[in-house]
Amino acid sequence: MTARQIIPAIDLIDGQVVRLYQGDYAKQTQYSLSPLDLAKRYAQAGAAWLHIVDLSGAKTPEKRQVELIGQIAALGVINCQAGGGVRSKEDIQALLDAGVKRVVLGSVAVKQPELVREWLEYFGAEAIVLALDVNITADGRKLVATHGWQQDSGVEITALLESYVSAGVKHVLCTDIACDGTLAGPNQKLYEEMKATFPSIQWQASGGIGNLDHIRHLAASSVDHLILGRALLEGRFSLEEAKNLWEGN
């Protein structure tokens, strides 16, 4: 059983650390921080994993920042999972060759599930993370969005995952888009439902964490791992404080 972990996140556009509000590229905040220095800081605070989102690559695959991601991985101080604009077997291989331990697949996992199941078999379940970002409708349907949250796939997350579980998927990062970047709290009910429905999956919760109480409440659930982005960048609490709450439960 994998120990539950806090996983800090770095979002990158053209080499700069940024955050988007609810996935909107027009609502981005830039931080005057070096991605490499930030990775070192998180490692020194005790993080074992770093989540890297290549937002340039997610929007324009030709602008994927594989070289920069490789530089972060080459520091050798923290394990990296990274994604953004990954569309092919070659894209996955390029990130793994750059030193990334787990490649995060978003839109392609929704649009081409048969292909991604082949990749799971080829690369192994430990090398793949499915990033499933959901819009929850008024009647409770959990629809997965694609292409940097710009498009609604019409696919429900439960139906999609049923096919992936049989293919051996192990890691899923799930974000409620309505919560992301808001600091207003996570959708705890969503994660509890997903973990109960798919207990074999290591779930990574993402979006909405704004204070230590949010972490304390979510830590009482069965969710495996927690991604933290904006709250850490803005110094709302330290990574050490978050780790103590999350990993101590």
Contact 209, 239 (CB under 8 A): no
Residue 25 carries which side chain, given as an amino acid letter?
Y
- Active-site residue among 91, 133, 176, 224? 133
Residues 6+ apart with CB under 8 A from 184: 208, 210
> Is 152 one of the catalytic residues?
no
Distance CA 225, CA 241 (A): 15
Q: Which residues are paired to 8 by β-bridges?
A: 228
Which two structure tokens, joined as six digits, stand for 220?
């009482």
Report how far residue 79's alpha carbon sits from residue 114's, in angstroms, rounded to the nearest whole number.
Answer: 28
Output the six-digit token pair for 24.
């909107």
Burial class (CB in 10 A: 0-12, 13-18, 19+), 167: middle
CA distance 103 to 93: 9
How would DSSP label each residue in 129-152?
EEEEEEEEPTT--EEEEETTTTEE
176 is catalytic: no
Set 11, 91, 176, 180: catalytic member: 11
For 116, 170, 208, the CA distances from 58, given in Å and listed in that order, are: 17, 23, 21
Residues taking part in catalysis: 11, 133
